[in-house]
Each structure stands twice: as C-alpha cells, then as structure tokens.
Amino acid sequence: MKARPDMEKEMDIGFKKMLILSGLFHAGLLVILLALALNRSTHPFGPHVYHVDLVTLPQPSAAPPAPVKEIPAAPPPPVQKPPAARPKVEVKKPPIQPPPKAIKPAATVPPPAKPPQKSQEAAPQKETASEASPAAPPNAKSSENVSAIAPAPKLQTGIEVPDFKFPYYTDMIQRKIEMNWSPPPLESTAEAKEAVVGFVLFSNGKIGDPKIEKSSGNAFFDQAALRAVYLANPLPPFPQGFHDASLTIHFSFALMKKS
C-alpha cells in the first residue's frame, strides 16, 4: 500500500518537469518568431536597386591638320651667254717661188755606126729558133688534158605508180619534185648512182612516211633525194576520176654518165 503513493509522487514530479520543459520550449520558439518579425519589419525583403549615373566620356579633340608644305619654285634656267667671238688670226701665205729652170743637157754626138756582120748574126738566130722548138710539148699536153675531160653527168628522175591511169597527174608530181632537187656536187668521173624514195600520197596531196627504199651508196646523194620529196609537200590533190584514199609512189633519182 505504501508503494503506490511513492509512484504517484514520482509521476507528479515527472509531469511537472515536462510542463516546465514544454513551457521553456514554447517560450524560446516565441522569442525566435518575434525576432524574425522585428527583423522583417526593419529590413523588408525586395530587389536591390542600384542607382547609376551615366557619365559621357570626353571625346578626343581632332588633331589639327598638318601644315601644307610649300613646294619651292624651280630656279630659272641659267642664261647661256653667247661664246665670245674669237679674234681672227690672219695666216700669211708664203710667197710663191717660181719653179727652177730646167738645165738642158749638153747634146751628145753619137758614135759612127758600124757595118752589120751578116755571117755572125745569122748563126745566133738559127740557134734561138732551135731552142724555141722544144716548147711545143706543153701545148700538146694541154690539148690532151682537154680531150681527156669526161663529159658532165646527166641527172634523171622517174616515177612509178602501179595501176594508175592518169599520166598527166604523175607528170605534175615529177615536175614539182624535180624543182626541189639539188644534188650534191660530184666529180665527173663518179660512177652512176641511183636512189629510190618511197612515200604514201593521200587524196588531198599530203605526203606521208617518205623513206629511202634504195640507197645510192652516197649519204649526201640520198639526203638530197629525200629532201626534194619533203620540200615538194604538198603535191596536187588527186584527179576527179580517181577515188582511192591513197597512193604508194616510188620516185627514183639517178646520176647517169654521158656516153
């Protein structure tokens, strides 16, 4: 029975403590709320406003224009003074002296003429005639050399076009190539030579692929023949009655000896 009153006392004491703590807590909370209210009234919330004064910057003053330099006037050209007249110096001519008189030589008297000696003069004349007679052999040799000179060689050309029935056209080709042929100088005793140049002739007269088909044995002679064909390009176009696209031509250049 005694334990129960003790328990009630302890419960009363605990309850009182809790009331005191609760009162202190609420009093503290009230103080905090009042402090916040006072702070809000003294410092109201809102955006911060900044007052800015716009000040214009001073503009730099324009630089003064540079002074214009005056161009000095060109000095007047110097006046050329006329050259002073030179005093004329009179050159005295030397006196003309008369030519000296020719001294005539003294006349000489010719000696008396001697009578001619016929017998003594006749013999030397015969000797001079006999001495002049051996001069004949050189003339004889020169005549022999003239007769021994061989005649100049004869130059000939020829054209071969198989299955072509327009002779007047081949004559035109031959004449034009001959006009451009300049054979090299050869000795009169040179042997007969012949070079054959083959080439293709197109319908418009153009020459194609000229070459030496037969050499003469002389490089200069062959080159002269080939050059004549090159210089004759182009030749006359094909005649109207011939319808092939090209022709193969064999042109001969010959050096023949005269009999």
Domain for residue 114, yes or no?
Answer: no
Distance of CA 130 to the CA centre of its chain: 78
- The residue count of the chain comes to 259
pLDDT tens digits, residue range 139-183? Answer: 434 334 433 344 445 677 888 887 788 999 999 999 999 999 998
**224 pLDDT tier (thresholds 50, 70, 90):** very high
For residue 248, the one-letter residue type is T
For residue 148, the one-letter residue type is A
Q: Is the pLDDT of residue 59 over 80?
A: no
- In angstroms, how far is the first alpha carbon of the chain from the final one? 190
Q: In total, how many domains does the chain have?
A: 1
Domain for residue 88, yes or no?
Answer: no
Domain for residue 183, yes or no?
Answer: yes
Domain for residue 169, yes or no?
Answer: yes
**11 pLDDT tier (thresholds 50, 70, 90):** confident
d(CA 129, CA 118): 17
d(CA 129, CA 225): 59
- Give the bridge partners for 246, in sequence order: 202
Write the CB contacts of 209 (distance below 8 Å, at least 6 apart in sequence): 199, 200
pLDDT tens digits, residue range 103-121? Answer: 454 444 444 445 445 444 4
For residue 15, the one-letter residue type is F
Note the pLDDT of residue 157.
83
Domain for residue 202, yes or no?
Answer: yes
**37 pLDDT tier (thresholds 50, 70, 90):** confident
146 versus 208: the higher-pLDDT residue is 208
Give the structural domain span for 221. Answer: 154-256
Q: What is the CATH number of the domain that holds 195?
A: 3.30.1150
